[in-house]
Amino acid sequence: MSFSEKREEGVSEHDSEVPEAPEGLSEPPDRGAAEAHGAHHQEGFLRKYIFSIDHKVIGLQYGLTALLFMLFGFCLMLLMRWQLAFPGQPIPVIGGLLGNANAPGGVMLPEFYNQLGAMHGTIMVFLGVVPLVVGAFGNYFVPLQIGAPDMAFPKLNMMSYWVYFVGGVIMFVSFFLPGGAANSGWTSYPPLSNIATMGQTAWLLGMVFLITSSLLGSINIITTIIQLRAEGLTYMRMPFFIWSQFVTSFLLLLAFPPLEAAGVMQLMDRLAGTSFFMPSGLVVSGQVLEGAGGGSPLLWQHLFWFLAHPEVYVLILPAMGIVAEVIANNTRKPLWGYKAMVYASVWLGFMSFIVWAHHMFLTGMGTVMSAFFQTTTMIISIPSVVILTALLISLWGGSIRFNTPMLFALAFLPMFGIGGLTGLPLGLAPSDIHLHDTYYVIGHFHYVVAPGTIFAIFAGIYFWFPKFTGRRMSESLGKIHFWGSFIFMNGVFGPMFLQGLAGVSRRLYDGGVQYSHAQDVVQFNQFMSYSAFLLLIAQLPFIFNFFWSMRMGEKVGNNPWQATTLDWAATSSPPLGHGNFAEVPVVWRGPYEYSVPGHEEDFLPQNVATPAPQEG
Amino acid sequence: MTAHSPEDIRKETRVYIFVFIALAALTVVTVGISYLDLSTGPAVALALFVALIKGSLVAAFFMHLLSERKLIYAVLVFTVFFFLALIFLPLGSFLNQVAG
Amino acid sequence: MEIPYNVEERPDTGLYNGKLGIWLFLASEVMLFGGLFSSYILLRTGDPNWFKPELSVPMATLNTMVLISSSVTMVMAWASLRLQDFKKFRLFSAATFLLACAFMVIKGFEYNTEFSHHLYPSSNNFMATYFTMTGLHGLHVLGGMVVIAYLWGPGSRMWKTEPERFTNRVEITGLYWHFVDLVWIFLFPALYLL
Ligand code: HEM
Ligand SMILES: [Cu+2]
């Protein structure tokens, strides 16, 4: 059966059924109707909300779980920030609840600080941001933006969420094991991690689950994008968000497995007594460790960073995708250099596999390999600059709407810029020798992931909230949230550069009080910690806004932002359950036809059949 | 795949049998070579060479990669590239360690 | 609601969803075993005291033959379905399953002999690599056996209702199975002969 025949049949099938509201697709977007629809199909509560195979429900599950984990990871960090600002002083209010093994008398023990640090990193990266940008936004919007009824493999999709969930539970429960959670940093470098407490075993098990979940998810997203694009949606007509998800999924698919292999090997080291990562004659507490030896700690670093470098692009590419959508919509202009952005993102994905050892300049690597990795690192910075520049130029001459999503998207640009540019000295061995493992590094990557990616996530939530719920979030609360976050984020992370340049190490239990040469900058710790606590307070308007708007927000139609992409052609607050579009959409043009000359309205959706007027 | 006539498919099955014989023969060959007590370099090279032939036979015929779509090739080309990076870049770094 | 191209091929890519899905999965598997092979090479070149105990080459050769045969029967099972010969399909996939069992049993004997010679994963880094790689490969064989058994038994009911979809499933399982075979083809010389 040919392509168009198939489509035609699909359309007519739906047409004939529309009056009877097939599958609830054309029902009005209110809760009652959605529930009636559920009852109509006799889908049980479990099938519909818990073990759902509908990508929208799974996307929401991912989103809510990941937001909770992110809040949790943030709270871990707040405990640490207290310790950094007031070393050795009892933690107020909740200090007594942490238990004697962690904080006797409310004073944090160094061992506990290490757990918090390792788990903050792990939770933020693997349980917070990746599941949010790929699991939640990817799941919810990839099918909608390409005009598909669902993901290509709905059951696999459900599995990927539940495997993620189990991984998260393992990570969470590990805090209650004897010796607490993993405490060897999120990088889990052996030999330290090989001889660490039981929490490390739980960490490895959890990671195996999280990796498996990402693999299932990425297979699904790639197949969906390639196979289920609506008719007329050629690759070069895909919204940039779809491209970013596409590249990201390939990174997850091909970079994660070596870490899975490494995880299995470290599990063997810890449980079966092998020595993959154990050098001969390792001395621990004055005693030579038993065991075969002969292994290589550096091997772990290679396998770990083979994943973890592409991982940073997993964190940032979808964020760029979200920002691109928001910017195009709110400048009412096509993205400047869309094609260049697409090629740049593919190039970025490709190169990200061969730069990883820039994290290992200080492992005794010789000049030949070091030169190789410095070169590739400098090359990979180019496509990021291309994308960022294209987004910046896109603003030029636009009649910008400064709504909350746009504010977050705009703030993303300089914040990511700072994060990216401060990365360059880290990619060059001579300067990295000084900066390696200092707070400068912490400052650098947090500018990328916190005011960078997390701002993009906020932009995405404000932007697409009407799609989830049929209601808009409050603008005034949103603006309070934005300005609070913007100021305090910089308050937390800005001074880190100065501390790092002065030589203050990361992963220090006391924040560097013993560095007599760096007292001038160590004193910033209190200011940074106050900023972090205020950052928490700045999130309260958001949390309130989120729940309040679900019930009380301004009701809006399907396309409240006058946007062009296919997701806005679907019903808002789409009834949960399989199927997305009342009528299978057909795509006629590129993704960002805003302010087309000669067209009445200032936007021309991809699926509207009127041919674009000839310019000339 | 559906376009194939029964006659074609029967021809394919004959090819499968040939491939099987070739694989079995090559297995014997590679075991035989291992008894020659070659020095490490040539031994590794030869064993890998035979394994590569065997692997290609499996991929080309059993996994019918020979008549597969371009898209699959594209995915595999990327994968092979990254695979090679994964094998050789760590090895390169190891061999390029600064002494001490 | 139906997911498009679940069974029939999408005209512009020439693929049905499952086929693309399995190849993507296999690509990730290449990287998984790639990580292990890379580790093996590194550990071996990096350790001046590398020591490799004698393993049973005859048993492993036999196992190679068994696995290769199971690949042929698998591909024949798929061909039989395409020739609409369901009986032969049952026969060939049963053979595949039994050969896979034989592989696991032989592997079990091998492990047993090694244990009786006091060779454990913790003995040295060669044995560690050996047990990890063959163990992971064995898990893949087990996984494949479950699927093959399912398609032979309860899963084969689909042949009556949706023959094309069923044939696709067998094709996909075959692709996975041949990949498992392919990994062994490299494991065999790497672990036993070199
Ligand atoms: C927005 C609130 C955040 C704050 C206040 C914060 C603060 C910090 C600080 C101070 C450290 C250094 C701890 C030390 O060296 O002892 C750290 C480490 C880290 N953070 Fe964050 N962070 C935040 C968000 C994030 C996010 C969103 C991510 C990732 C997506 C993240 C990933 C990491 C990682 C990977 C580490 C390294 C952990 C390690 O040393 O093993 N953080 N964070
Ligand atoms: Cu990196």
ipTM of this predicted structure: 0.96
The whole-number pLDDT of residue A42 equals 56
pLDDT tens figures, A220-235: 999 999 999 999 999 9
**Dist CA A435 CA A441 (whole Å):** 7
Say how many Å lie between the CA of residue A312 and the centre of ligand 2: 7
pLDDT tens figures, A306-351: 999 999 999 999 999 999 999 999 999 999 999 999 999 999 999 9
Query: Is the distance from CB of A383 to CB of A347 less than 8 angstroms?
Result: yes
Give the count of alpha carbons within 13 A of B57, CB side only: 24
The whole-number pLDDT of residue C98 equals 98
The whole-number pLDDT of residue B97 equals 84
The whole-number pLDDT of residue C54 equals 87
Question: Distance from B90 to chain A by nearest Cα, in Å?
Answer: 6
Query: Is the distance from CB of A567 to CB of A145 less than 8 angstroms?
Result: yes
Q: Is B15 on the interface with C (CB under 8 A)?
A: no
The whole-number pLDDT of residue A578 equals 65
The whole-number pLDDT of residue A10 equals 37
Query: Is the distance from CB of C42 to CB of A296 less than 8 angstroms?
Result: yes
A368 contacts on B by Cβ (under 8 Å) = 92, 96
Contact assignment for C20 to B24 by CB distance below 8 Å = no
Q: What residues contact residue A563 under an 8 Å CB cut-off, 6+ apart?
A: A329, A603, A605
Query: Is the distance from CB of A177 to CB of A198 less than 8 angstroms?
Result: yes
**Dist CA B48 CA B63 (whole Å):** 20
The whole-number pLDDT of residue A9 equals 36
The whole-number pLDDT of residue A288 equals 87
Residues in chain C predicted with pLDDT less than 50, given as ranges, are none
Say how many Å lie between the CA of residue A373 and the centre of ligand 2: 10
**Segment 17-46 of chain B within 8 Å of chain C by CB:** 17, 19-20, 23-24, 27-28, 30-31, 33-34, 40, 43-44
pLDDT tens figures, B19-50: 999 999 999 999 999 998 888 899 999 999 99
Nearest CA residue ID for atom 24, ligand 1:
A450
The chain B residue lying nearest C173, using CA atoms, is B63
Global pTM value: 0.92
Instruction: Give all domains of chain A, ordered by start, each with its CATH number.
Output: 48-276+295-568 (1.20.210.10)
Nearest by CB: C35 against B10, B19, B86: B86
A156 contacts on C by Cβ (under 8 Å) = 21
Domain ranges across chain C: 17-42+57-193
The whole-number pLDDT of residue A472 equals 95
Superfamily designation of domain C17-42+57-193: Cytochrome c oxidase, subunit III, four-helix bundle (1.20.120.80)
Contact assignment for C188 to B51 by CB distance below 8 Å = yes
Q: Is B11 exposed, middle or buried (0-12, 13-18, 19+ CB in 10 A)?
A: exposed
Q: Is B71 on the interface with A (CB under 8 A)?
A: yes
Taking alpha carbons only, the member of A81, C189, A120, A156 closest to residue B43 is: C189
Contact assignment for C46 to B13 by CB distance below 8 Å = no
Q: Is B93 on the interface with A (CB under 8 A)?
A: yes
The whole-number pLDDT of residue A581 equals 86
Say how many Å lie between the CA of residue A505 and the centre of ligand 2: 19
Residues in chain A predicted with pLDDT less than 70, given as ranges, are 1-43, 574-578, 611-616
pLDDT tens figures, A59-100: 999 999 999 999 999 999 999 999 999 999 999 988 889 988
Which ligand is nearest to the Cα of residue A353, counting in written order? Answer: 2
The whole-number pLDDT of residue A601 equals 87
Taking alpha carbons only, the member of A390, A405, A505, A489 closest to residue A447 is: A489
Nearest by CB: C32 against A10, A260, A276: A260
Q: What are phi and psi of C62, to 5 degrees?
A: -55, -45
